[in-house]
Amino acid sequence: MPAPLVGLSLMLEDDFLRASYPLFEAGQVDVLEWSFDTGWPPVIVPTWAEELLQFFSAAGRLVGHGVSYSALSAGTEDLQQTWLQLFSSEIERRRYRHVSEHFGFSSTRNFHQSAPLPVPLTPATLRLGRERLQQLADLARVPVGLENLAFAFSLRDVLDQGRFLEELLAPVNGFVVLDLHNLYCQALNFEQPFENLLSGYPLDRVHELHLAGGSWSLSTLAESKPIRRDTHDGPVPDELFAVLPEVLRRCPQVDTVILERMGGTLSPDDGDLFRRDFLRLKEIVRAAT
């Protein structure tokens, strides 16, 4: 199997452009991930970002990652249908290798702007998620996948997530986007060994890896216990670089590895570290495969 493509998640802010431009200019970025629904109207995508999207699309090196389909939201069918209509236009406009979304829900009638939240594994939630994934797959006509969550309400949410993903994805032969920082957050917040959590996922379905950094917040329930959050506003923890070779060994179907960093969080000094993180990531992936 060819070595995985290593790339970046596209952000529209100027600081992301300044930080990433030397990597694009040097031809270091193999693949581009685009959260396409963040660029739908009324958002105006800058010309430089449109040019990158056109270039990677034409090269067959563009992957899609939705953030607002909210496959496990109940009672919001009209919102999903509107999203699917926009998605249908999106895939006519650009060529994607594959498309993914987040596990969990991120919208209800009165709540629609948040990081995705977990739902319990029940026959009803499983049925709903399968229906929504089938709708997505029917339109996409490329492989579809789901990304694991960082946030959990309980240890049960954490331990069930791998099995839940397998049962959701099996009917469409979907794939897992395994976000290592999300898994890292759960390991720290619920005091679980990273290796134990990793073993609970369907690793043969993992086709894409995400790496990112995050931050710490004080819990509102226990002020003495900080919570690790997947905020994408810092460097990748050294612990994740350390486990990456073993993750790649155990996930032999990985074909894409993406470094994520939120726009608006990159100072000039951060830009240097961001580029070093990317080159370090690429070196580890090449050595491991």
Q: What is the tens place of the pLDDT at every residue in 155-202?
A: 988 999 999 999 999 999 999 999 999 999 999 999 999 999 999 999
pLDDT in tens, 89-102: 999 999 999 999 99
CATH of the domain at 106: 3.20.20.150
Q: Is the pLDDT of residue 106 over 80?
A: no
Q: How far is CA 120 from CA 104, 154, 163, 243, 274, in A?
A: 9, 10, 12, 29, 36
Q: Say how far apart CA 162 and CA 160 lie, in whole Å.
A: 6
Note the pLDDT of residue 216. Answer: 87
Q: Say which residue, 143 or 122, is predicted with more confidence.
A: 143
Q: What is the pTM of this model?
A: 0.92
Note the pLDDT of residue 109. Answer: 41
Residue 254 structural domain: 5-288
For 229, residues 6+ apart whose C-beta sits below 8 A from its C-beta are: 150, 185, 214, 215, 216, 217
Note the pLDDT of residue 110. Answer: 44
For 60, residues 6+ apart whose C-beta sits below 8 A from its C-beta are: 95, 97
Q: Is the pLDDT of residue 112 over 50?
A: no
Q: What angle do CA 68, 93, 67 make, to 5 degrees?
A: 10
Total of domains in the chain:
1
Count other C-beta atoms under 10 Å from residue 223's C-beta. 8
Note the pLDDT of residue 53. Answer: 98
Note the pLDDT of residue 74. Answer: 64
Q: Say which residue, 167 or 221, is predicted with more confidence.
A: 167
Q: How confident is the model at residue 143 (pLDDT cuts 50, 70, 90)?
A: very high
Q: Say which residue, 209 or 215, is predicted with more confidence.
A: 209
Tokens 């950094």 belong to residue = 213
- Let me know: does 228 contact 192? Beta carbons within 8 Å: no
pLDDT in tens, 122-142: 888 889 989 999 999 999 999
- Let me know: does 154 contact 183? Beta carbons within 8 Å: no
Calculate the CA dihedral of residues 163, 166, 171, 176 and round it to 10 degrees: 150
Note the pLDDT of residue 220. Answer: 58
Pairing type for strands 31-34 and 5-9 reads parallel
Give me 96's structure tokens.
């994607």
For 106, residues 6+ apart whose C-beta sits below 8 A from its C-beta are: 67, 68, 70, 73, 112, 113, 114, 115, 116, 117
Q: How confident is the model at residue 111 (pLDDT cuts 50, 70, 90)?
A: very low
| Percent of the chain scoring above 90 in pLDDT | 76
pLDDT in tens, 31-89: 999 999 999 999 999 999 999 999 999 999 999 999 989 887 765 678 889 999 999 99
